[in-house]
């Protein structure tokens, strides 16, 4: 079992200084908590999950007692900062964050990267390759169960009484994830006479702009902005969808991060379209997902049109993603890799302080 210790802090989505303050406050609180816990018992291993990358140094009290430190790098912090605040990678702050990232990796005993393209960025900034294991954030089958049968009803073509085609997308509502492009593509296809419904699950700063865009485009009942959905309820809201849509724009961050939602669509047997970023192409080919040029509305519209009009293609893509990605990179495989690493590090966590 697990024992959870909650720290009395709240995180707010705000400007750069507020983000920095929140991170520093949590770093101090986490350092104190680790110190108190390490005084009570000796831990063989401490895992630190970013962001921020410098949070790894909150593990120093446990390391003094002999614990090994595993740094789980959830994001590329320099690229995320550059994307969020439109600074460019040459700005002093992303460059500083890159140096902190490399120092944090070097200080840890081992580090986790969430994709091969992310690993390549860490190595390009000088991180030691021997520290790393790649563990994808693949969908947990207990939360995202596979479809009951492979090649399900999609392969049989449209039902006798055609219903609106149901498109889903989910995640944080921010500009880099391209939901505005998805709404624009939906409007174009509705004008062509296609009967489509789009459901977007998630909350975020872009919601007011999306609501205004939907009104301007006259999307009406064809769009539902569901709002925040707890993780354990996401799969049931996605179930039965005809298409899963990933519309990420291209930037230094999104180019290298494999979209979690794409892995979840694959696990649920939902055929998907996604931008042909380096991260997506590292794990999915054109036979597994409908690819399009990121940020290109015409290309996104064409990809969505092709999937909407071809049920046999949707069935082929869903099956290929299941066999080509889920079977090779699904969470059971990742869990084996992660467990082996944790057991090795915990077994080594007996060195003197």
Residue 1 lies in a domain: no
pLDDT for 221: 96
Report the alpha-carbon angle 148-198-248, nearest 5.
95
7 domain residue, yes or no: no
Are residue 219 and residue 313 in the same domain, yes or no? Answer: yes
| Residue 33 shares a structural domain with residue 74 | yes
Share of the chain above pLDDT 90, in %: 79
Q: Is the same domain home to 305 and 214?
A: yes
Quote the mean pLDDT of the chain.
91
Within 10 A of 156 (CB to CB), how many other CB atoms are there?
11
Is the same domain home to 102 and 245? no
pLDDT, position 161: 41
Task: Say what the pLDDT of residue 57 is.
Answer: 96
pLDDT beyond 90 at 137: yes
- Whether pLDDT at 15 is above 80: no
**Predicted local confidence at residue 307, as pLDDT:** 97
- Give the per-residue SS3 of the chain: CCCCCCCCCCCCCCCHHHHHHHHHHHHHHHHHHHHHHHHHCCCCEEEEECCCHHHHHHHHHHHHCCCEEEEECCCCHHHHHHHHHCCCCCCHHHHHHHHHHHHHHHHCCEEEECCHHHHHHHHHCCCCHHHEEECCCCCCCCCCCCCCCCCCHHHHCCCCCCCCEEEEEECCCCHHHCHHHHHHHHHHHHHCCCCEEEEEECCCCCHHHHHHHHHHHCCHHHEEEEECCCHHHHHHHHCCCCEEECCCCCCCCCCCCCCHHHHHHHHHCCCEEEECCHHHHHHCCCCCCEEECCCCHHHHHHHHHHHHHCHHHHHHHHHHHHHHHHHHHCHHHHHHHHHHHHHHHHHHCCCCC
Mean pLDDT of the 112-130 span? 96
Examine residue 2 and state whether it is found in any structural domain, yes or no: no
> 203 and 77, same structural domain?
no
Least confident of 8-12, 24-28, 93-97: 8-12
Quote the number of domains for the chain: 2
Q: State how far the Cα of 25 lies from the Cα of 9, in Å rounded to an integer.
A: 8
Whether residue 303 sits in one domain with residue 217: yes
Give the CATH number of the domain where residue 285 resides.
3.40.50.2000
Domain shared by 132 and 183, yes or no: no
Q: For residues 205 and 38, give the distance between their C-alpha atoms in angstroms, rounded to a whole number.
A: 39
pLDDT at 327: 94
Q: What is the pLDDT of residue 170?
A: 98
9 in any annotated domain = no
pLDDT of residue 158: 41
Q: What is the per-residue pLDDT across 150-205, written as a single tens digit (0 to 9) for each?
A: 344 344 344 434 679 999 999 999 999 999 999 999 999 999 999 999 999 999 99
Domain presence at residue 64: yes
Residue 295 has pLDDT above 80, yes or no: yes
pLDDT at 293 over 70: yes
Q: Residue 338 corresponds to which tokens in the numbers above?
A: 């992660």
70 and 26 both lie in a single domain: yes
Note the pLDDT of residue 1: 66
**pLDDT average, residue stretch 26-43:** 91
pLDDT given for residue 353 in this prediction: 44
Q: Which residues of 172-185 are buried (b: 16+ CB within 10 A; e: fewer)?
A: ebbbbbbbbbbbbb
For residues 241 and 311, membership in a common domain is answered with: yes
Containing structural domain, residue 79: 16-136+332-348
Model confidence band, residue 79 (pLDDT cutoffs 50, 70, 90): very high
Q: Does any domain span residue 109?
A: yes
Q: Same domain for 34 and 129? A: yes
Q: Is the pLDDT of residue 231 over 50?
A: yes
Residue 87 has pLDDT above 80, yes or no: yes
């Amino acid at each position: 079992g697990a024992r959870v210790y909650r720290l009395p802090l709240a995180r707010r989505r705000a400007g750069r200084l507020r983000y920095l303050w929140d991170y520093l406050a949590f770093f101090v609180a986490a350092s104190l908590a680790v110190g108190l816990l390490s005084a009570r018992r000796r831990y063989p291993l401490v895992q630190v999950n970013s962001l921020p990358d410098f949070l790894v140094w909150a593990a120093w009290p446990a390391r003094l007692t002999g614990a090994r430190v595993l740094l789980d790098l959830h994001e590329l912090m320099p690229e995320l900062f550059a994307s969020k605040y439109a600074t460019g990678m040459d700005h002093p702050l992303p460059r500083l964050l890159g140096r902190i990232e490399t120092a944090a990796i070097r200080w840890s005993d081992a580090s986790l990267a969430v994709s091969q393209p992310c690993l390549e960025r860490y190595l390009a900034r000088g991180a030691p390759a021997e520290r790393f294991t790649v563990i994808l954030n693949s969908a947990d089958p207990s939360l995202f169960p596979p479809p009951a049968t492979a090649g399900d009803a999609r392969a049989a073509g449209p039902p006798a009484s055609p219903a609106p085609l149901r498109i889903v997308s989910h995640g944080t509502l921010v500009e880099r994830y391209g939901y505005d492009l998805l709404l624009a593509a939906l409007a174009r296809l509705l004008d062509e006479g296609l009967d489509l419904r789009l459901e977007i699950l998630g909350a975020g700063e872009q919601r007011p702009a999306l609501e205004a865009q939907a009104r301007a485009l006259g999307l009406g009942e064809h769009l539902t902005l569901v709002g925040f959905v707890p993780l354990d309820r996401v799969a049931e809201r996605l179930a039965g969808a005809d298409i899963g849509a990933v519309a990420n724009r291209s930037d230094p961050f999104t180019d290298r991060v494999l979209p979690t939602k794409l892995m979840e669509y694959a696990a649920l047997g939902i055929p998907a379209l996604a931008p042909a970023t380096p991260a997506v192409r590292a794990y999915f080919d054109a036979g597994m997902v409908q690819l399009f040029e990121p940020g290109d509305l015409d290309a996104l519209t064409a990809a969505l049109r092709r999937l909407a009009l071809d049920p046999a293609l949707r069935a082929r893509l869903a099956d290929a993603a299941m066999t080509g990605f889920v079977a090779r990179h699904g969470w059971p495989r990742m869990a084996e890799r992660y467990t082996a690493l944790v057991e090795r590090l915990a077994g080594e966590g007996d060195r003197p302080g």
